[in-house]
Amino acid sequence: MLANTKSGEEARRRMTGGERRAQIVRMALDLFARDGFRGTTTRELASAVGVSEPVLYQHFANKKELYTAIVQDLCVRGLEDFGERLEAALSEDDLRSCLQKMGELVLSWHVDDPRPIRLLLFSALEGHELAEIWYEQSVTMFFGPFIDKLARAAEAGQLKDMAAPVMARAFIGMVGNYALATAVFKYPEFEGSREETVSRFVEIFLSGAGRR
């Protein structure tokens, strides 16, 4: 009886402010990624979290604060999940190996959990601040080091004398478009493993940008 009473008390334990805030961010990510920003009301979000709308606004004064929290959460989880892989890819001396690892990273980011890319698409199409916030906090962090890597490769004679930002967007664009079609539009993946798929894109990229 005492054990049951204790478990009931623990179940009714009120969340701390930080725990409630994290719960709101998680539920907002799920709902916004599924239904979009215009398709999700604060009432629905509050109901999903199990609080009233006034309680929701106690944690986030406006939607921009919530968007920023979502992006920060994605960035933190992204660094936890992919930070080591990104560092490993950029530290490769062999350019082909670097491109292979970068391509696999982009593909897994899109396909393993489609919520972030769906969220970004909704934000761009619906004109929300999230797209700009994401660009400032995440995309720049990702593209900047990769651009520098390609610029050094061009200086070393491994790539043609082309603008590094263009080359970076060309490569990421190939892999990203394939990943987007797979994760969002449900196109079937190519035959073979993901590693084999990325290697094809690496070959296409180097056949055009590589210095012969």
Would you state the pLDDT for residue 11? 38
Q: Where in the chain is the domain with CATH 1.10.10.60?
A: 10-61
Residue among 103, 126, 117, 111 at smallest CA distance from 174: 103
Would you state the pLDDT for residue 84? 82
Would you state the pLDDT for residue 10? 43
Distance, in Å, from the CA atom of 83 to the CA atom of 77, rounded to the nearest integer, reads 9
Would you state the pLDDT for residue 132? 79
Would you state the pLDDT for residue 119? 84
Find the largest Cα–Cα distance for the chain.
78
Fold of 82-209: Tetracycline Repressor; domain 2 (1.10.357)
CATH of domain 10-61: 1.10.10.60
Q: Where in the chain is the domain with CATH 1.10.357?
A: 82-209
| Whether the predicted model's global pTM rises above the 0.85 cut | no
pLDDT in tens, the chain (212 residues): 444 544 444 434 577 878 889 999 999 889 988 888 888 888 898 899 888 889 888 998 887 788 778 877 877 776 666 778 888 999 999 999 999 999 999 999 899 989 888 888 888 888 877 777 777 766 777 888 999 999 999 999 999 999 999 999 999 999 999 999 999 999 999 999 999 999 999 999 999 987 76
